[in-house]
């Protein structure tokens, strides 16, 4: 064996001299290639973990975690809703209601101050059964705008987004919303409000409601839930974007408030485009129609914001419902910081009930509204919310006002036949 090894060394002693330059050149080439590769990796690869770790991280789905309010509101890559303003929406998504759901219990409320305690949500959540949907029908924040960048309304939404009581409610119940004046950005404001486009962008962003048209063209929309024979249509009217100025009250007007009726055909509440849209929606197939108007429609006896300040517009509404043959119409309003029930009647004999539900946490004390024939109940100034209970078997709707702990304050029952859904016996 030693001889073979020796023999091999002797053979390489001469031949090795001839192969050595090739080996050296090969080694040098390998070193140079390695150096070039290392240089390129340093140049192209980002700082941080190695490529293997980066690839592995890219394939992994990040684990969910709680985002702090500071992280959330400072952006974390979120898109701007206004110049220099990142999204004001809550840090977790709003629950969505399946369009096929048969609705039997719907919550209604308005006037929710973001800087006051909100114990009323516990009353909502302890109900049995719990509402399948809750509708905020105006003044979901108080953010009257006084600066060009709408910073007051931005901050109001930010504060509301982190209220723990509302957060608990929105984790349990889907919401829909429309605005009134204080989430529009100015008390009693209408079409001439200069910040309405900014307010619309913030509204859509906070509620995560996809706009159906350019934001300066109004935020009204409609939804339909339930199967055939049990379809509930929800119509959210925008009573701000197009509304003409109300007439300041004169010394001769007999009720408290700021305004008095004026029969002016050039003044409007909904605007031409929204009137056309409403006529179309009233002809959609539905069994029960809940029409949300942030300001009262039927009520008399006061001089605050209401459809009665423009009586030609109110009569146009009644006529439209009558002429389209829309059945099952129930009106829902807020704004007034008290709850009450009202009732009107269309030319065809169909009953038109209205429930005012206000406020969720901003009680102002007893109202001084005058007594009028259309009001069916006393006025409840303590904190309250409303319920729309639809009994598809018994063919009736109960409208209920609930107190801060969920206790019943008052209510009315309307038969399907009175609403035109069923034929009267």
SS3 state of residue 248: strand
* Three-state secondary structure call for residue 319: helix
**In 218-249, which positions are buried (b, 16+ CB within 10 angstroms) versus exposed (e)?**
bbbbbebbbeeebbbbbbbbbbbbbbbebbeb
Number of H helices, E strands in the chain: 10, 16
Residue 224: pLDDT over 70: yes
**pLDDT for position 78:** 64
Give every CB contact of residue 397 below 8 A, 6+ residues apart in sequence: 288, 330, 388, 389, 390, 391, 413, 414, 416, 419
Highest mean pLDDT among 4-18, 49-63, 226-240: 226-240
Give me the pLDDT at residue 7, please: 36
Residue-wise pLDDT tens digits, 234-252: 999 999 999 999 999 999 9
Q: What is the pLDDT of residues 350-381, one digit of tens each?
A: 999 999 999 999 999 999 999 999 999 999 99
For 375-415, the pLDDT digits (tens) are 999 999 999 999 999 999 999 999 999 999 999 999 999 99
Judged against a pLDDT cut of 80, whether residue 74 lies above it is answered with no
Distance of alpha carbon 48 from alpha carbon 99, whole angstroms: 46
Give the confidence band of 425 by pLDDT, cuts at 50, 70, 90: confident
**pLDDT score for 79:** 80
For range 304-323, the mean pLDDT: 98
Structural domains for the chain? 2-58 (no CATH), 69-415 (3.60.21.70)
Phi and psi angles of residue 35, each rounded to the nearest 5 degrees, phi first: -65, -40
pLDDT reading at 137 higher than 90: yes
Q: How confident is the model at residue 59 (pLDDT cuts 50, 70, 90)?
A: very low
Q: Taking all residues of the chain, what is their mean pLDDT, rounded to a whole number? A: 87
Q: Is the pLDDT of residue 184 over 60?
A: yes
What is the model's pLDDT at position 36? 43
Q: What is the pLDDT of residue 26?
A: 53
Higher pLDDT: 4 or 126? It is 126
pLDDT at position 424: 84
Neighbouring C-beta atoms of residue 392, cutoff 10 Å? 16
pTM: 0.82
Euclidean distance between CA atoms 171 and 227, whole angstroms:
25
pLDDT at 52: 45
pLDDT of residue 9 exceeding 90, the answer is no
Which of 101, 162, 165 lies closest to 131, judged by CA? 101
Pairing relation of β-strands 80-82 and 85-86?
antiparallel
């Amino acid at each position: 064996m030693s001889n073979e090894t020796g023999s091999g060394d002797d053979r390489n002693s001469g031949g090795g001299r001839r192969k050595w330059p090739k080996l050296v050149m090969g080694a040098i080439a390998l070193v140079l290639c390695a150096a070039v590769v290392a240089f390129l990796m340093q140049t192209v690869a980002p700082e941080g973990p190695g490529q293997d770790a980066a690839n592995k991280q890219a394939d992994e789905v990040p684990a969910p975690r709680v985002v702090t309010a500071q992280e959330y509101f400072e952006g974390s890559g979120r898109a701007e809703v206004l110049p220099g303003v990142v999204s004001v929406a809550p840090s977790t998504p709003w629950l969505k209601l399946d369009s096929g759901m048969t609705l039997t219990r719907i919550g209604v409320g308005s006037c929710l101050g973001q800087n006051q305690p909100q114990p009323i949500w516990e009353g909502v959540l302890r109900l049995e059964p719990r509402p399948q949907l809750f509708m905020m029908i105006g003044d979901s924040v108080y953010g009257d705008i006084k600066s060009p960048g709408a910073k007051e309304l931005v901050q109001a939404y930010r504060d509301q987004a982190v209220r723990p009581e509302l957060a608990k409610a929105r984790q349990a119940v889907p919401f829909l919303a429309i605005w009134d004046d204080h989430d529009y950005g100015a008390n009693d404001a209408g079409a001439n409000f200069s910040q309405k486009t900014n307010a619309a962008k913030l509204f859509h962003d906070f509620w995560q409601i996809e706009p159906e048209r350019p934001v300066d063209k109004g935020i009204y929309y409609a939804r339909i839930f339930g199967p055939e024979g049990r379809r509930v249509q929800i119509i959210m009217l925008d009573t701000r974007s197009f509304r003409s100025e109300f007439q300041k009250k004169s010394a001769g007007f007999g009720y408290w408030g700021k305004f008095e009726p004026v029969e002016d055909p050039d003044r409007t509440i909904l605007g031409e485009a929204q009137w056309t849209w409403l006529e179309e929606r009233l002809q959609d197939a539905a069994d029960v129609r809940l029409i949300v108007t942030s300001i009262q429609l039927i009520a008399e006896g006061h001089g605050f914001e209401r459809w009665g300040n423009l009586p030609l517009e109110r009569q146009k509404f009644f006529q439209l419902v009558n002429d389209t043959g829309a059945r099952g119409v129930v009106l829902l309003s807020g704004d007034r910081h008290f709850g009450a029930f009202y009732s009107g009647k269309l030319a065809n004999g169909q009953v038109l009930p209205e429930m005012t539900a206000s406020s969720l946490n901003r009680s102002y004390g007893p109202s001084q509204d005058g007594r009028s024939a259309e009001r069916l109940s006393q006025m409840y100034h303590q904190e309250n919310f409303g319920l729309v209970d639809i009994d598809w078997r018994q063919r009736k709707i109960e409208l209920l006002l609930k107190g801060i702990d969920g206790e019943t304050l008052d209510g009315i029952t309307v038969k399907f036949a009175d609403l035109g859904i069923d034929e009267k016996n």
